[in-house]
Structure 1
């Protein structure tokens, strides 16, 4: 069953259940309310009749003896309401209206049949559920007013029918509204399903953004961003293989060319040695490239490639400078290190790999710096921040978004894997690496790490 039908069916069942429960509740609430209101009216009427009975000077028996008849002093003022007056022994003295519909009643024995007396007694005892009764004590005994339930039920049913009509109309309107809302919710989901089918077919560039509200809109935005990232990753992966094949092919062609020339006797004398030197250099370059590619693959896939330990940041920076000192001297570059605001001096990471990341970043600065390189380390908001800047030309703006991607290199770059490896190492350490340009010129690469605590 389609989702739209499932939602509509569930909403319809829920609506029917709500209306049924509401109908039962309203039935009993209305019935109780009408019965309560009727009892209040009967109580007020019984008080009025009792007051009139108290004003009588002679008891009913003496008045009956004088007049030869028996009368109910006060008759109920509302149609459908009857009264029974009993003495202190529980015997019926009078009923109004009488069975003969006379205002002045004959003695009870002659006026009331045995069947009517039994019915009246059932009403008095409260056994007849077809009547609402109210009792009131009088000087003569007890006054009982009663009215049939049929009148209450007629009023209750009339009100309930009107309420059910209102409920039915509201329910129909709500059901139609639910159809509209369901369509509004389902349409984006159907379109989202189509876009996910494009992702499944690896047509990432064809995925479009679905406009929707609420959680569906958030999911649609996530799917669109995911498709963009997958498209970029797919493009980077293809570019990676192209660049990798190019980077590997260049030294292999040099090695193969010189090796064949030496074998065929093309090179003689000192040229043979020069050819062997080129083969050795290109082999070393090829080995370094393969090693970097292997390390990058391990950083992306293997979990146990890292050895977590506590590292002193000052010692890490000192070793970085010592490793690069020959290169700095050769190029005549001065490296300035400042760690004055470094309060939390330790972090947790793999020492050897983090050292390699620092060497890659600083050696990249050495490649482009004119005279000075600055390494500034400090603690900021509980995190350790290391900034490496130079006085070189800076990073081209079109290269900045892709600087840490594989095989992306500047004008004088080597393999294009150094900064990609640095990013992978820093992120595996739980840190962040960013690149930019200083206002006065020169590149700035910042590394942030959580402190060891």
Structure 2
């Protein structure tokens, strides 16, 4: 049976606890390592000093005989040992080559007792001991110097260093605790603001920007968050306008259909008026169908990328096909469509959709032109620039900025969807479209398309 313990903590608490755990673990490892290594260092340093002391005493006895001749010898040895003790603080034992003790600062009689003492001290780790040979001039060993140093002083020094380090840790821990708390607040405050802002989003409140100036990834997140808020606000407003416009656009033909159908049913219209009412019903039904089809088409090309079928196409043929499609409509209104320049551009285009885009733009021009629509083409900065110019009255103030919005209709406008469809198709080709007034009159639609919209094939001019 496995028991899973799940503790719920806020992200700020998690950061703070993790920070403190890492801090404690780091200090514990540092403490243990420092205490162990410092003790080893002090032992090694003491042993080094004893070896130096042993060499010093060995030099003092290099020319002196290692014999016990009574009081004079003891006085002689004591003076030499006192000289050595001024340099080192240790117990000293002098032996000849027969391991007979010549002089000792501790009460000991023979070599076996030295071995027992050495083993005992080393086992209890109370002393550090070294043995240094004493050489004659001919480099033969004539005796030994054995030195013992107390470990107690080493431990005391090591403990003093540990206590100093412990106090340093306590001070550092308090400082780290304060820094950790401030760090936690600095990290969680912007996250709390993001959480609160998200709650406002659920209520569709996108007005105020989130101001976070941390200079890090959280600020970048806040910037992206604000951009998302502005886009959501734009889409929300666009959706509201869409619903308002679509309800109005659908309501008008439906009311006409309903009114005429009820008039026929109730016998209000009779004879030839019935035929007129039926024609109105058919016309409004066709208008309604066209409107619904265009809405579905626009939604599809704006949201589904794979609806486009890019292939190597001749752009001039696409424009000519669009012109032929609207020729009858232009002839009915006595409007001439003239293609002033004829560039043979081959690139990757969706032929059917691009034809539809040009038909919508030309149809809009025919609706407002007086007698002429002019099509000009040129290459500007490695892009093909197409201008469709009419000789109508042009745009009213600010109208050219709205004509590509869904359901925006100028005077004598159609469904208000056609130019929005054209814009979506051209932008899907990595192009752009804009409209502005011509001088002295008329309107200009400028379409810019890359000669090379799809990198799979090379353009041909």
If the length of structure 1 is used for normalisation, what is the TM-score?
A: 0.79
**1:25 partnered with 2:33:** yes
- The Cα of 1:403 is off from its aligned counterpart by 4.5
**1:174 partnered with 2:172:** no
Cα distance change, pair 375–134 in 1 and its aligned pair in 2 (3 A): farther
* Helix, strand or coil at the partner of 1:339: coil
- The Cα of 1:418 is off from its aligned counterpart by 1.3
Contact persistence 1:199–1:207 (CA under 8 A) = no
**1:48 partnered with 2:56:** yes
Matches within 5 A, 1:343-362: 345-347=346-348, 349=350, 351-362=351-362
Contact persistence 1:204–1:230 (CA under 8 A) = no
Deviations 1:332-372 (A, max 9, x none): 343334536x4xx22154x3223212322343355456745
Cα distance change, pair 34–260 in 1 and its aligned pair in 2 (3 A): same
Deviations 1:293-316 (A, max 9, x none): 222243356676444544343432
* Helix, strand or coil at the partner of 1:163: helix
Contact persistence 2:12–2:188 (CA under 8 A) = yes
**1:60 partnered with 2:66:** yes
Q: CA RMSD in A?
A: 3.7
**Corresponding residue of 1:237:** 239
Contact persistence 1:395–1:442 (CA under 8 A) = no
**Corresponding residue of 1:217:** 219
In structure 1, what is the Cα distance between the partners aligned to 2:15 and 2:356? 58
**Corresponding residue of 2:117:** 119
In structure 2, what is the Cα distance between the partners aligned to 1:395 and 1:86? 121
Deviations 1:389-447 (A, max 9, x none): 436676667456654432123444321111222344445x4634342548967343434
**1:332 partnered with 2:333:** no
In structure 2, what is the Cα distance between the partners aligned to 1:158 and 1:199? 61
Residue in structure 2 matching 1:138, options 94, 113, 134 = 134
Contact persistence 1:311–1:346 (CA under 8 A) = yes
Residue in structure 2 matching 1:148, options 144, 147, 150 = 150
In structure 2, what is the Cα distance between the partners aligned to 1:292 and 1:279? 20
In structure 1, what is the Cα distance between the partners aligned to 2:254 and 2:376? 38
Cα distance change, pair 2–262 in 1 and its aligned pair in 2 (3 A): closer
**Corresponding residue of 2:24:** 16
Contact persistence 1:438–1:444 (CA under 8 A) = no
**1:76 partnered with 2:77:** no
In structure 2, what is the Cα distance between the partners aligned to 1:238 and 1:303? 25
**Corresponding residue of 1:205:** 206
Contact persistence 1:310–1:452 (CA under 8 A) = no
Contact persistence 2:387–2:444 (CA under 8 A) = no
- The Cα of 1:237 is off from its aligned counterpart by 1.6
Cα distance change, pair 69–175 in 1 and its aligned pair in 2 (3 A): closer
In structure 1, what is the Cα distance between the partners aligned to 2:330 and 2:455? 30
**1:4 partnered with 2:12:** yes
Cα distance change, pair 323–88 in 1 and its aligned pair in 2 (3 A): farther
In structure 1, what is the Cα distance between the partners aligned to 2:125 and 2:425? 88
In structure 1, what is the Cα distance between the partners aligned to 2:438 and 2:66? 117
* Helix, strand or coil at the partner of 2:448: strand
- The Cα of 1:79 is off from its aligned counterpart by 6.2
In structure 1, what is the Cα distance between the partners aligned to 2:288 and 2:277? 16
In structure 1, what is the Cα distance between the partners aligned to 2:264 and 2:30? 100
* Helix, strand or coil at the partner of 2:415: coil
**Corresponding residue of 1:103:** none
Cα distance change, pair 278–86 in 1 and its aligned pair in 2 (3 A): same
* Helix, strand or coil at the partner of 1:415: coil
In structure 2, what is the Cα distance between the partners aligned to 1:221 and 1:44? 70
In structure 1, what is the Cα distance between the partners aligned to 2:385 and 2:134? 102
- The Cα of 1:257 is off from its aligned counterpart by 4.9
**1:85 partnered with 2:90:** no
**Corresponding residue of 1:98:** 106
If the length of structure 2 is used for normalisation, what is the TM-score?
A: 0.78
Q: Structure 2, unaligned stretches of length 5 or more?
A: 1-8, 136-141
Cα distance change, pair 233–35 in 1 and its aligned pair in 2 (3 A): same
In structure 2, what is the Cα distance between the partners aligned to 1:179 and 1:424? 52
* Helix, strand or coil at the partner of 1:442: strand
In structure 1, what is the Cα distance between the partners aligned to 2:330 and 2:415? 20
- Higher mean C-alpha displacement, 276-285 vs 313-322: 276-285
In structure 2, what is the Cα distance between the partners aligned to 1:142 and 1:379? 102
In structure 2, what is the Cα distance between the partners aligned to 1:50 and 1:397? 112
In structure 2, what is the Cα distance between the partners aligned to 1:452 and 1:321? 29
In structure 1, what is the Cα distance between the partners aligned to 2:204 and 2:16? 34
- The Cα of 1:159 is off from its aligned counterpart by 1.3
In structure 2, what is the Cα distance between the partners aligned to 1:400 and 1:36? 90
- The Cα of 1:64 is off from its aligned counterpart by 2.4
